[in-house]
Structure 1
Amino acid sequence: MIEQIELLVRSGFYSIEEIFEIVTEEYDIPIDNKQLQIEINSLFHSHMEASNQWARPTHFEQLVAVFDMLCDGGIIALHNAGITISDGIDDAYECYEELIERGKLPAGYCFYHEQDLRRAIESNVLPIAFGTFRENPEHALKVAEVIISFLESFGFHVHWNGDIDSRIELRDFEWRKMYTEHDSYGLKRAVEIIEESNYDLAFNAPRPVEIDDHITATDIPAYTRHTFSEIKHLLPADCWAYSRDEKNNGEFENETVLVYEGNLTVEQIHLDYPLGIDAVREEHEQQSVFLILVTGDLIVNNYIYNEYTDGSTGLIVLGNVQASNMIVGGQEIYIGGNLAVKELFWGDYNHGMLSVCGNVETSFFVETDEYDVRIKGERHFKKHWVDADECNVNDVQTMLAEGCYWLEDHDNYDVGQIPLCKEGMFERLKANQPLLMEGWPKVPPQIFENEELSVNNVQRILASSLFGEDVMYSFYLDDVSIRVSRPYLNEDGKKNRRQYISAAG
């Protein structure tokens, strides 16, 4: 019994009162309650004194950070989940059902239970169980890889044999945890973190209409799956996908298209994984998604992104598109209305194209490696780079946030190439961080009070700092040469009072 009390104390999950209740219920023998209370108090306070000497952070504190990050990434991560694996799975499904009702679709789960915790205390090995909510080995493998990468990033000694039916082990794990009155490591913690998170679509795939029919209360956008032949009549005749299919005897007839009816608002779209991590495309699996079609407007609160610039999923929106950032290439992006990108649009590689029937407005527009841009309306760019031709390397650190560009001393920096770092940008996007420096672009001061050609406005420009020490200011407006002169002293020391503007075609 003393051994059991010590394990409960060292677990750090139970108060003195809870330990007393567990022990008295578990042992069906006469117990001197007063003596039992003394033993529990003694072991509890000895453990508390020992905790003052622990190096920080403890392994448990680091594990809490990892589990919180996993939850923020869409994986339910639970501490002390029941006594057995079955208990832990039941707890994971309880979280899953609650999150579905709140409009979230978790990618999978991981946990350790009470018996695992005992093993960690006794032998410094903590097993971590994991799984998914759908029977898909590739999905489970991806979930395991993500869990392991997070654990290794915190320096844990991780062992796993690669079998999705085997558990992950943390070796050399020193279990050090002290109970505190405000402990909160239960199911509620995981649910609250996931509910508030904005995890990548690679983990949170929009749920198809036909999946999990018994679950109806959800805000997850629903799509319908079609073949290209079934929806091609909805496509604009001038889009590449339609015209290419027509010219090549139905080349895309059997390709998969996801259709969103009406307007769609999402946090982000990852065009490499439009169906989530369980649709990572292997050639033999025939799981590729050729195209996403939105029949209304599309609002993307964070980003539209893809890493692979050869064969990523295409996107056709019949209405307008708004996004914070777009980093794309390797597919057709067709927009029937206007495109508004708050910070950066970057189209990369000659296997991709952007077609916009309306206007395009963005702070920073970049096209590299012969990316095809077709804009029928107006272009409103505060900065525009075409490959390295328009790239002023000195502007990079002024415009872009740290991590979004290569420095000259970096191995991946190539002289003469555009120094943008896609990987660094994506890390910032996943963390909901801006790509552009705060306060960029700088708004120039207004010289004129309005857009009229008036005496007042002429006097304003004549008095401005544009002239410097000169009396004449020249510039071009399209193909017209403009010269502006202000009063000055002539050779005789007399003031020339003439002010004039001249123009020549």
Structure 2
Amino acid sequence: MHNVYQFMAISQLAERFPADSWWAKFYKDFSEDDLVAYYEGDLTLPSLDLDWGMPFPQQDKTILIFINGHLTVDNLYNLETDGAIGLMVMGNLMAKNIAVGGQEIYVHGNLTVENILCGSYNHGEAIVNGNLQAATFVQDDEYRINVNGQRSLQCIVNIWHGDGIFQELPIRIQDILIDEVFLDEDEDEDEVGFSFASLVQIFKEGRSALTHFTSVPQRTIASSVYFTHHSINAENILKLTTCILMTPDKPSFDLTEQDVYFMIQRAHTNADGDKRNDSVYMKTSQYHYFIWLNEDQSVSLLRKTLEEEAEWWDITESSQAHLVDIHDHWLMLLTCINVAELYLHTIEIQYVRQIFQQSAIQELEEDHDGFWDGSKCYSFRQAYLDEDGDRIHARIEIQTPDEAYYFYTLENQSYVSRYYQPPHYYGLQELSYLNTRQWEASEQYFERFKQFMSQNFKV
């Protein structure tokens, strides 16, 4: 294999090293005996072993492989993670499996890994100037991956804590990796007995270390469906105005899904003494809709265009063909409330209040301080009044292995509000009621939080 490369003193390539690479920043004094294996053009290999002396036994001074093009390789690996041959690819790097550590892997373009990307120990780092896409990222200790472009990691697992995330949902590492990569015994009961050497050996043999796992089983929540039919009638309007989102302190609630705005209002007398009926307002990309319940329990429908001077038209008696749009949005609204009724009852407000009464929580020195369980961080913010006198509500924050956040906030009387912040993004978002995967993830992460609190603080 070594005959395809041109061997030269590494000092001859020093000016071509990207400025953000280890080689440009830290390695200045090269011996003339330190060699780089240089390849001009695109290269395809069945495997590449980066352990010292392994790929180039006749050139044991090789400390870097420099590919001036794209590299396609089935399996890229090295066993020794205290130090190994560096790899610099000036194009894209495409691999089926990667298990490395102890050196810099620099990819000027995109890094695409079909199966497993595993970085071991804290002596190595991967720098990807473009995008990173991998089916499974196996985190081993403190290996670093810096990506300038976008990350797309379908599954992330933390081998020391034994869990991870698969398509936003928590997952056990044993469900992802085959038994062969786990040790029979482990001295630390809190850690998974993982063998990096076994993983490398599997790649050397050209085999896969992934199980046939395809999805995380979702829990079955014991709850009846809130809306049993989709009719626009008095029964469903009354259910909307008495659902969990309608808190006792306010006569209405609103939500937005797929750019459609909904406001649901229960019957009440406003501050001016005017009586308001139970009603539903919708604003779509084309129309305003207004649905309200009359005193005799009949339902009226109005519609108007978005023009400023537009007038309301009674569409109660319109044909079903002309009501398709309003029925589609009505069905979406009922679906959202079904999800809210399914999930928002499961976390008790009293339990969250008890959490904030724990001495261990109250003694945290600063807001957002918390606890680390090996793969997730649990932080807390006590309620307080800000400089304008506005009340900032208490909340629990859970940082997941992929650096997303789930928030659980005490801001109303009926339920614990939930929010989400995507990985590598700043700013809270409301959970979409149509994204049941995120709701399920928020549920499962909170269950793990409760287990952690029970084991460590007897909550």
What's the TM-score, normalizing by structure 2? 0.48
More helix by share: 1
Whichever structure has more strand as a proportion of its residues is: 2
Q: State TM-score, norm by structure 1.
A: 0.44
- Select the structure of larger CA radius of gyration: 1
